[in-house]
């Protein structure tokens, strides 16, 4: 298959915005703040940064190197490294399929909130209201609509679909977030919110769930461990600096998460929502925060609209990266045509998302299993493969457009030692502490 028929990015900025769009999602705007609120504020932020630098960046770099070198979607890319690794590419595509199936459901709730805030239809009892829109017919409808939008963008292709949307929507998202952060700074609870967010409580950090949480959050947020970055990098030509791109992507993703906290913490403190946030993650975002906005009548309606618009933009640019992983694999491996592939896979994913649209417990379970454990596992495998079996070629590819031999050596060293060790530990704890409890909640086993 020629490079032309696979598609390429029009510009480096287009690639960066698309990749940042894939990375910045619901995970940044909510997951990060939630984890920080539970994990010692600034202490969590420091731990998170440490993890992004020592584990996230090396794995992100590995994905970009694999994608650009092979110029192929995950299954063929892993097969190009050695045919015995092809199965890992298949796992990546399956994980992308599974993550999108529930991610699109959450995106649907977000879209519904956006619409209802814009129209002034959110009732004061946000708890009952969220119960109605999050499970059942309404959720199915919003999920299906989100999938159709995602399919249409992917059907448009790399340049005319993904890149065009990212180039327009990402700046809008940045502006919305800056505006929201400025508005949040004017709230009376802002000082207390920042204080909680930025005051380090190091005792919380050394509690084990915080460490696992920071690692899982970083992987999910950076979209690592399932070939999304391999796929996007496979449309890169040329020989620009890969570490430069990795730093830009990880930096933007982290910055957005941080600014997300500057929006949410003042809201939480202004409206006195900390107790609700401690109770549940999703509930806080869709029940407590909207209740706060409603207290402010018209201004709240406006801010609520912008807030959920920002979330929707963040979500859909991530959803398209997930569908692209699946679509590109079928195009490259089976020679299918893009439009047809996008529709077939998108519809199958929409169907696979039905259990999540009918029960929020499915969302929790799939997130723990696929969004945490499988991504960590994928990252572990990528580090081992790149570090031990493919380091010669990987180094050569990295050095195209990158001068520092010392940093290149450090990269391989990290992939061989720190990264796998850290990920193994995290994998163990996330299986025992997230998947098993989520499975019990779903399947109703007594614990
Ligand atoms: N990074 C996205 C977020 O933070 O919401 C989620 C995600 C998107 C994970 C794409 C994995 C992926 F391939």
Interval 295-313: pLDDT, tens: 988 899 999 999 999 999 9
C-alpha dist (Å) from residue 138 to 92, 104, 105: 30, 13, 10
Nearest residue CA, atom 9 of ligand 1? 223
Distance (Å, rounded) from C-alpha 363 to C-alpha 314?
18
pLDDT score of 2:
43
Q: Which of 97, 219, 322, 323 to mutate to test the pocket of ligand 1 (most atoms within 8 A of CB)?
A: 322
Nearest to 62 by CA among 48, 76, 77: 77
pLDDT of 174 above 80? yes
Centre of ligand 1 from the C-alpha of residue 100, in Å:
9
Are 178 and 170 contacting, i.e. CB atoms less than 8 angstroms apart? no
Which atom of ligand 1 is nearest to 315's Cα? 5
DSSP class of 7: -
- Max CA distance (Å), the chain: 61
Local confidence band at 34 (pLDDT 50, 70, 90 cut-offs): confident
Which atom of ligand 1 is nearest to 371's Cα? 9
Nearest residue CA, atom 10 of ligand 1? 223
Centre of ligand 1 from the C-alpha of residue 223, in Å:
4
Which atom of ligand 1 is nearest to 318's Cα? 8
C-alpha dist (Å) from residue 215 to 9, 247, 362: 30, 18, 22
Nearest to 92 by CA among 3, 223, 233: 223
Centre of ligand 1 from the C-alpha of residue 198, in Å:
25
Which atom of ligand 1 is nearest to 221's Cα? 4
Mean pLDDT rounded to a whole number for the chain = 93
pLDDT score of 445:
57
Interval 362-377: pLDDT, tens: 998 999 999 999 999 9
pLDDT of 285 above 90? no
Distance (Å, rounded) from C-alpha 162 to C-alpha 205?
38
For the residues 55-71, what does the mean pLDDT come to?
98
CB under 6 Å to ligand 1: residues? 22-23, 25-28, 96, 99, 220-221, 223, 226, 228, 318, 321-322
| CB burial readout 278-313, b (16+ within 10 A) else e | eeebbbbbbbbbbbbbbeeeeebbebbbbbbbbbbb
Which atom of ligand 1 is nearest to 227's Cα? 13
DSSP 376-392: HHHHHHHHHIIIIISHH
The fold adopted by the segment(s) 3-354 is Hydantoin permease (1.10.4160)
Ranges of each domain in the chain: 3-354
Nearest residue CA, atom 12 of ligand 1? 223
pLDDT score of 3:
41
Residue the block writes with tokens 């807030």? 307
pLDDT of 4 above 60? no
Residue the block writes with tokens 């930096």? 251
447 CB burial (10 A radius; 0-12, 13-18, 19+): exposed
For the residues 415-432, what does the mean pLDDT come to?
94
Phi and psi at residue 305, to the nearest 5°: -60, -45
């Amino acid at each position: 298959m020629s490079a032309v028929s696979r598609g390429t990015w029009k510009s480096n900025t287009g690639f960066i915005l698309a990749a940042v769009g894939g990375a910045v999602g619901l995970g940044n705007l909510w997951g990060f703040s939630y984890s920080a609120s539970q994990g010692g504020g600034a202490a969590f932020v420091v731990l998170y940064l440490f993890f992004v630098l020592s584990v996230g960046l090396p794995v992100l770099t590995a994905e970009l190197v694999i994608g650009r070198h092979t110029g192929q979607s995950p299954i063929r890319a892993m097969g190009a490294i050695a045919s015995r690794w092809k199965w890992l590419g298949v796992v990546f595509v399956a994980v992308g399929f599974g993550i999108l199936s529930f991610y699109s459901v959450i995106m649907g709730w977000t879209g519904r909130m956006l619409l209802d805030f814009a129209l002034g239809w959110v009732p004061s009892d946000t708890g009952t209201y969220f119960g109605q829109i999050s499970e059942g017919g309404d959720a199915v409808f919003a999920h299906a609509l989100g999938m159709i939008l995602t399919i249409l963008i992917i059907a448009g292709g790399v340049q005319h679909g993904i890149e065009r949307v990212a180039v327009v929507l990402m700046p809008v998202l940045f502006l919305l977030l800056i505006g929201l952060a400025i508005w949040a700074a004017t709230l009376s609870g802002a000082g207390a919110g920042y204080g909680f967010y930025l005051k380090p409580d190091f005792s919380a950090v050394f509690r084990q769930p915080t460490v696992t949480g920071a690692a899982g959050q970083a992987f999910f947020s950076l979209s690592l461990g399932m070939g999304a970055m391999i796929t996007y990098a496979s449309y890169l030509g040329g020989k620009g600096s890969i570490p430069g791109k990795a730093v830009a992507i990880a930096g933007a993703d982290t910055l957005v998460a941080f600014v997300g906290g500057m929006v949410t913490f003042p809201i939480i403190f202004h409206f006195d929502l900390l107790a609700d946030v401690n109770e549940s993650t999703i509930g806080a975002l869709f029940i407590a925060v909207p209740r706060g906005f409603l207290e402010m009548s018209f201004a709240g309606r406006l801010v609520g609209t912008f807030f959920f618009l920002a979330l929707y933009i963040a979500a859909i640019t991530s959803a398209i990266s997930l569908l692209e992983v699946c679509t590109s694999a079928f195009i490259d491996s089976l020679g299918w045509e893009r439009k047809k592939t996008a529709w077939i896979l998108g519809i199958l994913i929409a169907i696979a998302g039905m259990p999540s649209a009918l029960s929020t417990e499915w969302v929790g379970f799939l997130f723990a299993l696929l969004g945490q454990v499988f991504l960590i596992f994928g990252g572990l495998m990528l580090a081992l493969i790149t570090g031990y079996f493919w380091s010669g070629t990987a180094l050569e590819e990295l050095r195209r457009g990158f001068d520092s031999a010392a940093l290149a050596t450090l990269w391989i060293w990290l992939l061989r030692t720190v990264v796998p060790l850290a990920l193994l530990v995290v994998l163990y704890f996330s299986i025992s502490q997230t998947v098993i409890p989520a499975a019990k909640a779903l399947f109703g086993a007594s614990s």
